[in-house]
Amino acid sequence: MSDSAEMVEDLTNIPAHIAIIMDGNNRWAKQKFLPSIAGHTAGAGAVRRTVEAAASAGVKVLTLFAFSSENWKRPKVEVDGLMSLFMRSLKKEQKRLSKYDICLKVMGDVSGFSESLQAQIKRVESATANNQGMVLVIAANYGGRWDIAQAAKQLAMQVAEGNLDPDQIDETMLAQHMSLSDLPEPDLLIRTSGEERISNFMLWQTAYAEFVFLPVLWPDFGQSHFDEALQIYQTRQRRYGGR
């Protein structure tokens, strides 16, 4: 594990849940005149570093935006490469997750993946389900609008079946049907690469999250950048709409 505790000023103010939009893999590869998959492969190293940094800092939940529902629009060779990388990473990292007592969850419409990838996801989730350390959430084939729509669909089905009165539906009930409803909402959202938008990521859950945008490309993201984001977070005053 890393020594992030030495760099962070206030150890009593660590976000319980950090979400990260891992952006910049393609630009990193382009700068080095490499194929796009080389950037994604290098990005996997940044994932490993960040998981260790977050666990060491005492973060309870780390959510990483790996593949959006819009990413299917990318060139087939890139999508195929991403699917292969996801499969290899799941197989390779299972032992490491167990070593550090990390529980893996995959958030998104996994039915869009191949049967073999779906089976591998289930195997790793099952193997790590009883781990008591940090929860690592991988958002794959995920979109914030899809998330809200699937929650609304679940409630609509209950109304259609006569088990729910529409007047009973409120924000709390809708939230209970969103992804990760059993976990705390993100306190901090980090996006790398310098872009300053959330790209349809956890639209509902990040309503009161603090946003930190860093110029570093994701494959270069390391301990110092993680610490910088925490330090920025610790300067913020969270009012949740109050004064």
How many other C-beta atoms lie within 10 A of the C-beta of residue 86?
Answer: 21
Domain enclosing residue 122, as ranges = 16-233
- Does the pLDDT of residue 4 top 90, yes or no? no
CA distance 161 to 34: 54
Checking if the pLDDT of 5 tops 80, the result is no
Nearest of 217, 183, 174 to residue 17 by alpha carbon = 183
23 as an active site residue: the answer is yes
Tell me the per-residue pLDDT of 94-138, one tens digit each, with 9 for 90 and over.
Answer: 989 998 999 999 999 999 999 999 999 999 999 999 999 999 999
Evaluate whether residue 103 is within a structural domain: yes
Residue 21 and residue 159: Cα distance in Å, rounded?
Answer: 35
Does residue 58 register a pLDDT over 60?
yes
Catalytic site includes residue 71 = yes
Count: domains in the chain:
1
Confidence band for 9, pLDDT divided at 50, 70 and 90 = low
Residue 9 lies in a domain: no
Q: Is residue 240 part of a domain?
A: no
Whether 98 maps to a domain, the answer reads yes
Catalytic residue among 3, 10, 13, 23: 23
Look at residue 5 and tell me if it is in a domain: no
**Residue 96 counted as domain residue:** yes
**Locus of tokens 């660590």:** 14
**Domain holding 223: CATH number?**
3.40.1180.10
Q: Which of 3, 10, 13, 71 is catalytic?
A: 71
Domain assignment of residue 4, yes or no: no
More confident residue, 6 or 145: 145
